[in-house]
Structure 1
Amino acid sequence: MNDDGIDALIRAARRVAAGERLTGDLLTQEKVPARLRLLLAATALTAANLPVSKRAIVDAAPAAWSATYRNHAELLEDIKALVPDLVAAQLSLVGEMPTGTDLRRQLDQANASIEKERGLRAELEEEVRQLREYALTLHLRAKPEYDAMMAERQQKVRLLRPVGDDRDG
């Protein structure tokens, strides 16, 4: 076993992957050092875009609050202050990942854009309705005149019919 605790952490990870619940007892049985637990917890909180506070780190570790604070208070303060920047820098190496706040802002912008387009559509539909109504009114007004003009033309115009060749008979 390495004295850095990585082997112990891997053994605990195998147990969790096999279906065991992550608890402080499991990590204690595998002898995962508290310092490594705290570092991993802060990293997980930061990567999940959750607030990184001392209490949140200890809860996510999982570890006992009083013993952790008594034995690792300075480390806990350093982890809380420094790990979020380190994780953000590492994430930027693999490409920019949107945060929950970024996604919420994009969603709000999309909803505002949709609402604006719906309003514009409603205005245009009202304008088209008015144009249809106007066209129908004009049609109804012009129809009697048009019918009269067509009737007059029908009376004036003689219909021609083909005349057959009467030489034979």
Structure 2
Amino acid sequence: MGDGDIHIRPATVADAAALQPMFAEHRRVDENDEKVDRYRERLESLVTNPGHHIVVAEADGRVLGYAAAQDYGPALHRDWSIARMHDLWVSPDARGRGVGTALFEAVRTWAEQQTRIRVLEWQSLEVAAEFYRKLGLSGERVDEADPRELYEIEVHLPGRPRSVVE
């Protein structure tokens, strides 16, 4: 693995081939998930969908990881929305170099720049809980009986004035 600078950029349709094996490897740590399988199949359309934000980390021309988030849009009873980070994954040989932190910060920055998003949420497996703790984030156990040890994590984004045009 080279020591090139890490660059975070929006994923493109051309990244689909590099992301497919990462999706497969990422899902090995969890049970099969029909929703994620459909998500994988729709990757090419999602990278161009404005409601989704998918970024990749790249160094020396190689994709090292990705993060994927979605703005769910406002509910009927409020004019703000919640965004969900579906995935954050870094190739094992690229871990410990700041790739995951850079991907997370890119998603948080995206959410902060979307004037209607007030909360960024996601679930983390226990295996990633220490990563989020190092970022100063902690979560609550979703279900004590769940063998996957899922934690629900939320970041409440800074308040901002309402935009005149939404």
Question: Higher RCO, 1 or 2 (CA under 8 Å, sep at least 6)?
Answer: 2
Bigger Rg, structure 1 or 2 = 1
TM score, norm. by length of structure 1: 0.30
Q: Decide which structure has greater helix share.
A: 1
